[in-house]
Amino acid sequence: MSDVILEMRNITKVFPGVKALDDVSFSVREGEIHALVGENGAGKSTLMQVLSGVHPFGSYEGTIYFKGKECQFRNITQSEDVGLVIIHQELALVPFLSIVENLFLGNEQGKNGIINWNKAVSKSEGLLEKVGLDEAPATLVKDLGVGKQQLVEIAKALAKEVQLLILDEPTASLNDSDSEKLLDLLRQFRKNGISSILISHKLGEVLKVADSITILRDGATIETLDCNTDEITEDRIIRGMVGRDLTHRFPARDVKIGKKIFEVKDWNVYHPLQEERKVSDDINIYVREGEVVGVAGLMGAGRTELAMSIFGRSYGKNISGSAYKYGEEIDISTIQKAIAHGIAYATEDRKAYGLVLIHTIKDNISIANLQAVSQYGVIEDPKELSMVREFRDMLDIRCSSVLQLALNLSGGNQQKVVLSKWLFANQDILFLDEPTRGIDVGAKYEIYTIINQLASEGKAIVLLSSELPELLGICDRIYVMSEGKIVAEMKASDATQEKVMKHIMNHTR
């Protein structure tokens, strides 16, 4: 058994009103990949923030030992100085600076405040090689894909002579091949003696690489599993995370499919900036009452672009094509018109596009349909409140009151608020873009249940998702999208992950 590199003992962290961490102990051995899993709000991120000094010493209780020495970090710089680097889910790169500038940001190569660019560039080449990124150091970060940006972040950590790398949901926005590459890199680091802490919701990849798994639940350590000695399955981990068995990950539904409610024909959309580039190419899709239609595809396949262009042309340029509701052509050229025709688009990026975080749950739910609760432009508070509460109860949004601010909710509950907004607006054609991204297993199940319930009420649902098991689990029919085109359509009952991937690969080739 190798030595312990990090040990956190009896960490307790209290936020006003909430005990985020309750006597948590956590240790990482030298040269291992240690996965940290748990539902949203279980305290994973808080624990890592305590570790990296985001929450300075003194704001929590307990002790931290790194390589046998007690640490009292007051800020991130101090924790980075000893070789502890955290890479956040939202990448912290400056898009308009080059790779090399980003690599040494805050760690500039030079003397007396003057940068030695030759040294920086030559050093950066070595780092990029280590992470397997084949790009010129002068390339601007904004021109790289998310996967490559992730590699730049890791190279940046290496530049700081990292000993313990902490990755928070590193593969959340990566496609399968990029994820695989990243995991390989972690394995390679393990060989070189660099330990990693991997926070992830994707249990499949956790099982692939982790040496040990620590499960957090409600701010407490539940257990630490050793992958080398124990037989561990996804179900085993889930049981630890939610404290119960999840027998079905996808709830069942009585499928009652009705008339064709919505259809787009010959839909073409061009990129808003690169006017030559087609992001949706001759798309023909339809959805029926009570049907859940999935749109599968890799990152950048153009799913979001398609949905947003349909939703009142909120994305793209030179949009052409026609839209029909119950066979009649409709005008959906503005968001207001699209909403009036019963179309809704629940965004993949809740925080940036879905919610007004600084406002209350109530205000967020009612905003798209204030007409329903007002007369002559004056809002009737009681009516608004009772309607909002109805949706809170229906979707089981967990909050102290509907007057709580949206920013204080967990990801799953925020997603429910976004859904409530469109249910409040009484829309019958719902485009749901990655509705379960970044939320935990328990909350995912609840979202699926809601989707099922809506479908059984006769609403039409178009589900855009990059998680194939999810699409296979809850859809009736699946469109496969690749590079702006629909390359296949299949019944979900006939579809398999391999089949879908094959269609995508055949097209890209």
Partner 1 sequence: MKTLLTFLKKNVRDYGILIALIVIVVFFQNTTNGILLRPINITNLVLQNSYIVIMACGMLLVIVAGGIDLSVGSVAAFIGAVAAVFMVRYNMHWFLAIVLSLILGGFIGAFQGYWISYAKIPAFIVTLAGMLIFRGLTLVMLQGEAVGPFAVPFQRLSSGFIPDIFNYDGFHATTVLIGVIFSILIVVLDLYNRTKQKKYGFEVIPFYLMVVKNLLIVGAVLGLCWLMASYKGLPTVMIILFVLIILYSFVTSQTVIGRRIYAMGGNVKAAMLSGVNTERLYFLTFVNMGVLAALAGLIVAARLNVATPKAGDGFELDVIAAVFIGGASATGGIGKIIGAVVGAFMIGVMNNGMSIMGIGIDWQQAIKGIVLLLAVLFDVYSKKRIT
Residues of the shown chain interacting with partner 1 in the complex, contacts defined by CB under 8 A: 16, 311, 314, 335-336, 339, 345, 347, 352-359, 363, 366-368, 370-371, 374, 377-379, 381-382, 385-386, 401, 403, 405, 407-408, 421, 425
* Minimum distance of partner 1 from residue 123's CB (angstroms): 39
Closest distance to partner 1 from the beta carbon of 198 (Å): 28
Give whichever of 68 and 377 is closer to partner 1, judged by the CB atom.
Answer: 377
* C-alpha closest to that of 25 among 242, 226, 216: 216
Contacts of 111 (CB under 8 A, 6+ apart): none
Nearer to partner 1, 136 or 407 (CB): 407
SS3 content of the chain, % helix, strand, coil (to 5): 35, 30, 35
- DSSP-derived 3-state class of residue 424: helix
Distance CA 458, CA 89 (A): 37
Q: Which is nearer to partner 1, 273 or 378 (CB)?
A: 378
Select 247 or 400, whichever has its Cβ closest to partner 1: 400
Shortest Cβ 375–partner 1 spacing (Å) = 10
State the residue for tokens 């790169």: 93
Taking the least distance from each CB to partner 1, the nearer of 224 and 408 is 408
Tell which residue, 362, 365, 366, has the closest CA to residue 403: 362
Smallest distance, partner 1 to C-beta of residue 1, A:
43
Long-range contacts formed by 352-355: CB under 8 A, 24+ apart: 354/414, 354/418, 354/421, 355/406, 355/414, 355/417, 355/418
Dist. CA 136–CA 45, nearest whole Å: 33
By beta-carbon proximity to partner 1, the closer residue of 68 and 382 is 382
CA gap 290, 452 in Å, rounded:
9
Q: Name the minimum Å distance from CB 355 to partner 1.
A: 6
Q: Give min distance, CB of 248 to partner 1, in A.
A: 33
Contact 422, 253 (CB under 8 A): no
The nearest distance, CB 86 to partner 1, in angstroms, is 21
Query: Of the two residues 60 and 445, which places its CB atom closer to partner 1 in the complex?
Result: 60
Joined tokens for residue 71 = 């640490």
CB of 353 to partner 1, least distance (A): 5
Q: Please, which contacts does 127-136 make with residues 24 or more away whose CB atoms are closer than 8 Å?
A: 127/103, 127/155, 127/158, 127/159, 128/99, 128/155, 130/155, 130/158, 131/155, 131/158, 131/185, 132/181, 132/185, 135/99, 136/99
Helix or strand holding residue 496 (H, E): none
Residue with tokens 């029919």: 477
Q: Which residue, 339 or 500, is less far from partner 1 as judged by CB?
A: 339
Comparing CB distances to partner 1, the nearer of 1 and 352 is: 352
What are the angstrom distances between the C-alpha of 357 and each of 195, 353, 408? Answer: 36, 10, 8
Instruction: Provide the minimum distance between the beta carbon of 303 and partner 1 in the complex, in angstroms, as a whole number.
Output: 16
